[in-house]
Structure 1
């Protein structure tokens, strides 16, 4: 048996130019179209809309307000509060004076498509918030840059892979919780505040914490729109964590995933990992005594995909192209973007756009040079 775990694509309200390369790399590396949508939340991750502004060829990046602390991507798409929070990011942006008319049209389309995906009869109960948002971006990107391969990314909460991972975590040599506590103490951590995220019996988002010294787990409400609520933490056992994962009510962090993959390798299964590993596979192998975990096929961190085009910043850094600003450009710029994707894939890195003109002109000129 071959087990492929993919955690390379996150839901986001404004996908970057990494998205098309991710699609192409997924097919090239794994040879198939199936994968897991990474709904593990990052601090303010995927919830900020940024727009480029040019002043005498100088690029400034405008970050619109309205960011969430954490986004509950894995909650069902019929969870009205979760949907309202993501829709509110677009509403807040549309209420601002800064977006151009073209950007405003794209923002409204993304908002409306997302909410439709969440409320369409017969569909919403089978999707998560993250899946609904990914499908929204996928649809628009496919229109702008035709020819991208189709992927079938699903939430781990709905994938049979969750049971495979849960079964592996139940068989960690030495026990899951003792190994995790040793790992955290080796990192000199006073607390792992986000070992996993889960859904409560009442349908609320939770974060799972590990206390290394006592070797115990607990949960508390995930701070979605602000600081922690001050609710009293609830204890969680090792068996509880594994059961929540098997039931589709838990999204494991990268350390838990690495442990599960390492256990599967030790059982003689073939395992591949498409996405970042942060050195966790090597650590998991060392802690469990399972040889070869560091050789589980995976891409170097941030080597699974990259931005196909970026723009120079005044400080010498770069700003990646994003979906909203690309969609606000002309059809000629969209055609040029298709050429930039092909060129970037061949280069193995971003194509650096010029320093003159607005975004549309930079895309057209950059694409024109590549298509000659």
Structure 2
């Protein structure tokens, strides 16, 4: 019998993969994972808002019962409709037609410049040859590019640079840095490049919170999740669609690297001049299914009509208060609002029964609660 963690031994009831210490650590963490949770009554949620009779039902029985689509500042609802890179996304690296072969380079270049370019191949330094280009037409520059390509292939690269307000064609020996630069590319959308190659795209996810989805995507690209920004954090137990923003990553690479991700799909690319920031959205559109509803059809229709006519202010729910019973998040917030910094800090550092007592942070919290010595508590933390 096999498992993701390795081969399972029925007789000894443990996995062969990993050390005994790792197995003990896994089971120990599982033991302390449970925490007492708050109920609605404990935070004062006891009454129905309307005058209608209440009815019961089950919400989020399945994650597919809860759909969330982000609404951006323009009022557009996020819907994943295209999982391909748009044709308008093209590489800024210019492409030339090398069909015409120039037989004599001296028809285009002075003898000393041609000799200097040939000497680049034998040079061990990062030498460059500059040819003044202010008086050269675009056609002339293309012909010179063709000439260099036909004689040296990819061993010599040419580019146009500005030096002291003068335009030059610059030639140098090809190296790996040039290849990396070409791979990174500079993108244009509808003929215009944007600042720092930044673009937005849609992320559709199931049974994942936004931060987990961001980590999965960044892992596929072997980059920091800090490179990605988004306007809001969406529910884990739901099917959600929202905008992400990233820079300096080719969209085709992003698509190819993430196409095998489970429960995550991306698409609908478009360029953006500024990064997304938390709060840059109008709100969210919800589609919610209730199961095991006990009310009559008449009562349910009345309730739905009232919501349709008057709306519903989504102020209340445990997500606004936190669900940790030992250290309620709302109590920390109340102390912060009252300027009681010490009380807020003490609540944050309060030991909980759900903490793993073998973790350094748990040990530090216990020392601080017993001695009040922050320096001593800090001393047990692992330094990274």
- Give the structure with the larger helix fraction: 1
TM-score over 0.5 for the pair: no
**TM-score, normalisation: structure 2:** 0.20
**Greater radius of gyration (CA):** 2
